[in-house]
Structure 1
Amino acid sequence: MSKPRIAEWTELRGLAYLAVVLQHCIGEYIYRSDIQQPDSVMLAMLYHLTRFGTPTFVFLSAALLFYNGNKPIGYPRYIGRRFRDIYVPFLCWTVVYWICTQNWSTAQWGNIYFYKGMLEEMIIPVSGYHLWFVVMIFQFYILFPLFAKAAGRVQAFLRRYSTKRRKQLVLAVMLIAAAAYALLLQWSYYDMSAWSTRLPSFWQTLLDYRTYNFVMYFFYFMLGAVCAYMTDTWRGLAQQTLPWNVFVFIGLFMLMGHTMLIQSGDTINLNISTYLKPSTFVLIVSQLLLSYGLLLHLQKDKRSEPFRRMLNWIGRYSFGGYLAHALVLSFISYFTRPLSLGDHHFTATLITFIVVASVSLGISWLFAHLPGGNWIVGSKGRQRLNWRPFRFQFPSSKRASKSTQELG
């Protein structure tokens, strides 16, 4: 039997999509030479509200994978689905972004380096600056059978304990993992740049492109697994910590905003609050729990149903919207960059955000309803919500007879 759909996951995906689009719209306007300080400060503060976006996609990807893991399916079939629904759209949009950023002269099309550069973009995307996420998340999909097998052993180990003891053990493991992840980010933000200068070229390249490596986001993947196996416990945690988490978030928000303003000087530098920074990690976890708790709270209020339906619809078409939004933003920027916006950069950012988010979702919806549109924007939103559960197994493995059970 298929498991019930977790409504707040789709809504959370919608929020994450909006956060990513807003983040990129802020990046488009905050570095313009004619921006004035009040707008620059406001955009810098607003930027910290978007930090949870991309890590939340990692969290939700893991939650869906582990939650739906209780029916046998061969690895070739599994990876074929992932390749069709995720990597093929990535390849299509990589070509689009590469072509749009190149010289359209006829000589360019006959140049072998034009196609060499296109192939390089499919490994390390630069023209589509947001497509790095697909390269990173696909690594989790490729290795997921190993993660699922490890999770199965953890489940078998925990079954010997009481429910209360299981929760305590999982909490202890997650706290240790959080500390290890924070240490990894400490090295990444403060030390790895210096390390790369003393290492061979291969390792230097790995460090330089560490944002593309799934290891740098493993904790959010672990959180998603915990949420999938202990959904009720996770919900309780998000609701119980909601009042306290509000104060934690406000404190971190003010601290990181102040740090960015102090360290940036005259020109705001958004990279100060990169994902791979320990303080940003704490902020993201706080935002993730806070957003989850608020969505659960809205489920109790019938007046919020229109808003939740909107988030649900956005979440259904968020992948295609994510792929398309940078192109829409570039098109709008072609007309806005020559303009002198003066003290209206903040307003222009918000208007651009609304237009980009809406048009990108419209593109995703359109392709999702066209024949063969899944090759452009992935599987249709409605199909994505109706995945059937499955358990992964390697070709030589025996078919599992028991379904996955919750840890808590």
Structure 2
Amino acid sequence: MKKPKIAEWTELRGLAFLAIVMQHNIAEYIYRPDIEQPDSVMLTMIYHLTRFGTPTFVFLSGVLLFYHHRHIKPDYPRFIRKRFGDIYMPFFIWTFVYWLAVRVFTPTFWTSGMPDLGSFVHELFIPQTGYHLWFVLMVFQFYILFPLFLAGAHAVRKRLDNLKRFTSKQVTLTIILVAAILYLWLMKWSYYDMADWTQSWPDPWSSMLEYRSYSWLLYWFYFLLGAVCAWTVESWRNWTLKALPCMATVFVAMYIWMGYDVLRGSENTMNLNISTYLKPTTFISIMAQMLMLYGFLVLLNGKNLWFQRLLAWIGRYSFGGYLVHALVIYAIAYVTRPLHLSGWHLPVAIISFVVTVVTALGISWTLSKLPGSRLSVGLTRSKARQVTSFSNSLAGSGRRTRNQNPPLGSASKN
């Protein structure tokens, strides 16, 4: 039997995609030398509203993997083959597209003879031109290791079922709290200590620490939280609703603190790296905001508002949109970088964000209708037709229940 489709997961994914696109547009404008302080401060404030994007994709990857396999042991060779086709092949193709796109606009590319294919191989391990594609490499590690995670989840679940002194909810909450403390400690090491370790440790350890953000080890807590959500969907929904006021309060407090932290640590140019994912205070802010948004979407469940339908549509095509959006930003920057935008960086960044979202999702939607769509955007044409058909019937009926929300597609499309 097909499992019920959970509406808020698709909508949350749409929000996460929008947040990431906004982050990358802000990064394009905030470091320009002609930016004025009011624009710089406002862009920093907007930036701190978007930090939940990437960790939320990790959370949703864990949610969907455990939700669809919690009672079914996956056939590992088939499981990896499918994920390789849905995730890694689009990554490979778009890595080549970014590598080639950057070079064809370089005069030496046409005069140097054979292109440097070694640099392309390097991009497959440490993406630079497609700077956002590191996330696909990182999240793919969770799929490779998923059978181990699933076995561990089943072992924990078996122990919870045999508990007598404590309830399973109490033990689950304890596990989450202990894991959060351990993860906070890991973030402390990452932000405050590991930079020094890279200077003192020999290779290959120093190189591994330098690129630590490419490793699943730095994001495992979000994946763990996704497993908890997948195994206890209704309890998770009820808890996020009850915790909504608390999470909103924590997020507002951390949002103010993060803004102050960046202002205090920056000089002439805002240093957004102060708010990196791998920092304890950023982690607390992300968790509060993500749980707040989840509770908010649960609160709206079944209302079928226009922006819910829009977020759901964005969520369905978000993987392709994610893959292509940096290329759109490159194209916009080709026009805007020669311009003098003093006093206009904020509005231009917002306009660029809108253009990027519309163009990237339009390209993703178009590619999903063409042959080879699985290799380009990780979505087969049959699935795309189902999505369109469902969307049309949904718009006509004006009704939606939790079980009627269309499928999200592959769990890894981030």
TM-score by length of 2: 0.90
C-alpha distance 109-225 of structure 1, shift in aligned 2 (>3 A): farther
Within 2, Cα distance between the matches of 1:121 and 1:19?
25
AA partner of residue 21 (structure 2): V
AA partner of residue 249 (structure 1): F
AA partner of residue 316 (structure 1): R
Secondary structure, aligned partner of 2:162: coil
- Count of aligned pairs between the two proteins: 386
Match in the other structure for 1:12: 12
Match in the other structure for 2:373: 373
Secondary structure, aligned partner of 1:328: helix
Match in the other structure for 1:2: 2
Within 2, Cα distance between the matches of 1:168 and 1:62?
22
Say whether residues 1:268 and 2:270 are aligned partners. yes
C-alpha distance 95-108 of structure 1, shift in aligned 2 (>3 A): farther
Shift of the alpha carbon at 1:248? 1.2
Match in the other structure for 1:253: 255
Shift of the alpha carbon at 1:163? 11
Shift of the alpha carbon at 1:192? 0.5
Q: Kindly indicate whether the alpha-carbon contact (under 8 Å) linking 1:62 and 1:224 is maintained by their aligned counterparts in 2.
A: yes
Q: Kindly indicate whether the alpha-carbon contact (under 8 Å) linking 1:317 and 1:364 is maintained by their aligned counterparts in 2.
A: yes
Shift of the alpha carbon at 1:107? 3.8
C-alpha distance 109-325 of structure 1, shift in aligned 2 (>3 A): farther
Q: Among the aligned pairs, what percent are the same residue?
A: 51
Which structure 1 segments of 5+ residues have no match?
391-408
C-alpha distance 75-144 of structure 1, shift in aligned 2 (>3 A): same
CA RMSD in angstroms comes to: 1.9
Shift of the alpha carbon at 1:27? 0.4
Match in the other structure for 2:85: 84
The farther-off stretch of 81-90 and 94-103 is: 94-103
C-alpha distance 73-187 of structure 1, shift in aligned 2 (>3 A): closer
Match in the other structure for 1:168: 170
Within 2, Cα distance between the matches of 1:52 and 1:255?
16
Within 1, Cα distance between the matches of 2:50 and 2:317?
19
Shift of the alpha carbon at 1:60? 0.1
Select which of 141, 144, 166 maps to 1:142: 144
Shift of the alpha carbon at 1:376? 0.5
Within 2, Cα distance between the matches of 1:379 and 1:107?
38
Shift of the alpha carbon at 1:71? 3.1
Within 2, Cα distance between the matches of 1:272 and 1:175?
25
Match in the other structure for 1:397: none
Q: Kindly indicate whether the alpha-carbon contact (under 8 Å) linking 2:25 and 2:352 is maintained by their aligned counterparts in 1.
A: yes
Q: Kindly indicate whether the alpha-carbon contact (under 8 Å) linking 2:13 and 2:56 is maintained by their aligned counterparts in 1.
A: yes
Match in the other structure for 1:29: 29
Shift of the alpha carbon at 1:374? 1.2
Shift of the alpha carbon at 1:73? 3.7
Q: Kindly indicate whether the alpha-carbon contact (under 8 Å) linking 1:2 and 1:388 is maintained by their aligned counterparts in 2.
A: no
AA partner of residue 183 (structure 2): Y
Deviation readout 1:14-37 (Å, 9 max, x if unpaired): 000000000000000101111100
Say whether residues 1:74 and 2:78 are aligned partners. no
Within 1, Cα distance between the matches of 2:86 and 2:305?
30
AA partner of residue 251 (structure 2): F
Shift of the alpha carbon at 1:108? 3.8
Shift of the alpha carbon at 1:371? 1.2
Within 2, Cα distance between the matches of 1:122 and 1:60?
24
TM-score by length of 1: 0.91
Within 1, Cα distance between the matches of 2:208 and 2:346?
37
Q: Kindly indicate whether the alpha-carbon contact (under 8 Å) linking 1:245 and 1:286 is maintained by their aligned counterparts in 2.
A: yes
Q: Kindly indicate whether the alpha-carbon contact (under 8 Å) linking 1:36 and 1:342 is maintained by their aligned counterparts in 2.
A: yes
The farther-off stretch of 192-201 and 14-23 is: 192-201
Within 2, Cα distance between the matches of 1:13 and 1:228?
15
Within 1, Cα distance between the matches of 2:126 and 2:58?
19
Secondary structure, aligned partner of 2:167: helix
Deviation readout 1:254-307 (Å, 9 max, x if unpaired): 11101101101221010000000000000000011011011111225x3x5211
The farther-off stretch of 60-69 and 233-242 is: 233-242
Which structure 2 segments of 5+ residues have no match?
388-405
Matching of residues 170-189 of structure 1 within 5 Å: 170-189=172-191
Q: Kindly indicate whether the alpha-carbon contact (under 8 Å) linking 1:367 and 1:374 is maintained by their aligned counterparts in 2.
A: no
Q: Kindly indicate whether the alpha-carbon contact (under 8 Å) linking 1:39 and 1:344 is maintained by their aligned counterparts in 2.
A: yes
